[in-house]
Amino acid sequence: MFLQEQHLLYELAYTLVVKENFNLLHINKEDNEIWLEKVEHKKSKVIRLLHKGFDWKNHLKTDVARVFQKTKAIKKLLTGKTIDIYNVYISTHQPVDSWEELKRPMLLKEKNPPVMNVYYISLNDPGDEIARLKKDIDIQHFEFNVVEDDQEAETMIQQYKLKIASILYAKQEAVKSVFSFGKPFLTYILIALNVMMFAVMIAAGSSTDPEHLVRFGAKFNPLIIEGEWWRIISSMFLHSGFIHILMNMVALYYLGIIVERIYGSWRFMWIYLLAGIGGGLASFAFSVYVSVGASGAIFGLFGALLFFGLIHKKIFMQTMGRGILTVIGINIAIGLTIPQIDMSAHIGGLITGFLAAAICYLPKKHHIGIQVVAALSYTGIIGALVIYGLNIW
């Protein structure tokens, strides 16, 4: 019966992926275990298929506990706000003692816990459990027929394996291609320019003296009002003190590489400059102090990643989404508590960086409507900041 059980495992997995639009999360060929997910109405339907039998209910309960732990481990790969687990066992025989109590939905005593349903499909009597599974998951396209001929069953198993493997490979290649569109050489050039300007300022006297910063091109509202608008851009390449440039260049290194790989070099450059201008003008409009630094442009890179997450929600959340959101939150919280940090530049850069990414859009993709709205929004924000800054100061 082993081949028939294998046939059921892979036929069910293939049907769920190809005909029911489930995504492959993980395949363990050695343990004959397959995990799949489908998101509906912000809920993750997670199906775990396992070709393994259990002689006793307690052994089955132990494995159920393991599935709860594994679900916690892969939670970051799931995109739904709530999780329903459909834990499916495939074997020749059911446990010797009654396991009926395990058919009731199970959940852990924790906040927003996953809910687990257990199904034990025995090939001696598969009908009831398959029907229960189809009803609970709402499967429309699965009808299992036992293949008596072992050679035919093995041939079909290999075909299903190849098809599932090709789907998984295509998915992995698609994710890889998203992060390898461009090579991050402009990131290194920007870092070099910032470090070079810092070295020149140190050699000329100081990187922290406000008057010295203004002479080199810092954002200084009175001179900008007199017509020196170029300071909005020049201030992006100046830094006040070693800690300031170190923190910004580390951030630019990590964020720049990611954004340049995703968007390509020229899109990355436009996002960086447009966000830097937006952050500089926000500082001009809302802060009277002398200001320097690449922070506005760097926050614009955060904005570009948020736009990427809007287009590729699943990839974003499975790779870096939670980390990016956490870092943005921490930086905003720190900025609100430390007066010396120019939060107007940070927020301005974040918003205009998001809009700049929407204007450029993603490589090999476009959406004219979104791009036009983003361009108009960016222009409107820039115009409003200039008018407000000129009037208030």
> pLDDT, tens digit, for every residue of 38-77?
888 888 999 999 999 898 999 999 999 999 988 888 887 7
pLDDT digits (tens, 9 = 90+) for 292-322: 999 999 999 999 999 999 998 878 877 787 7
Q: Can you tell me the distance from the alpha carbon of 254 to that of 271, in angstroms, rounded to the nearest whole number?
A: 16
Domain holding 358, by residue range, is 185-392
pLDDT at 193: 97
Of 85-89, 302-306, 322-326, which gets the smallest average pLDDT?
A: 322-326
Q: In this structure, are 169 and 234 located in the same domain?
A: no
What is the average per-residue pLDDT within 86-111?
87
Q: In this structure, are 153 and 191 located in the same domain?
A: no
Q: How confident is the model at residue 334 (pLDDT cuts 50, 70, 90)?
A: confident
Q: In this structure, are 355 and 252 located in the same domain?
A: yes
The region that residue 111 occupies, defined by phi over 0 for left and psi between -120 and 50 for alpha, beta otherwise, is beta
CB 297 within 8 A of CB 349: yes
Domain ends where: 173, 196, 214?
173
Residue 178 inside a domain? The answer is no
**Active-site choice (346, 366, 367, 377):** 346
Scored b (16 or more CB within 10 A) or e, 58-71 reads eebbeebeebbebb
**Active-site choice (7, 295, 312, 344):** 295
Token pair 């008018």: residue? 387
Q: In this structure, are 282 and 306 located in the same domain?
A: yes
Helices then strands (H, E): number in the chain? 15, 6
234: pLDDT strictly greater than 90: yes
Scored b (16 or more CB within 10 A) or e, 183-195 reads ebebbeebbeebe
Q: What does residue 290 show for φ and ψ, rounded to 5 degrees?
A: -60, 135
Structural domain total, the chain: 2
pLDDT at 62: 93
For residue 377, indicate whether it is catalytic. no
Q: In this structure, are 189 and 142 located in the same domain?
A: no
pLDDT digits (tens, 9 = 90+) for 68-81: 988 888 887 787 78
Domain ends where: 128, 143, 173?
173
355: pLDDT strictly greater than 70: yes
Domain ends where: 121, 142, 173?
173
Residue 7 inside a domain? The answer is yes
Decide which of 272 and 7 is more confident: 272
Q: How confident is the model at residue 124 (pLDDT cuts 50, 70, 90)?
A: confident
> Can you give the pTM of this predicted structure?
0.77
pLDDT digits (tens, 9 = 90+) for 251-262: 999 999 999 999
Q: In this structure, are 133 and 275 located in the same domain?
A: no
Q: In this structure, are 213 and 92 located in the same domain?
A: no
For residue 346, indicate whether it is catalytic. yes
Q: In this structure, are 168 and 193 located in the same domain?
A: no
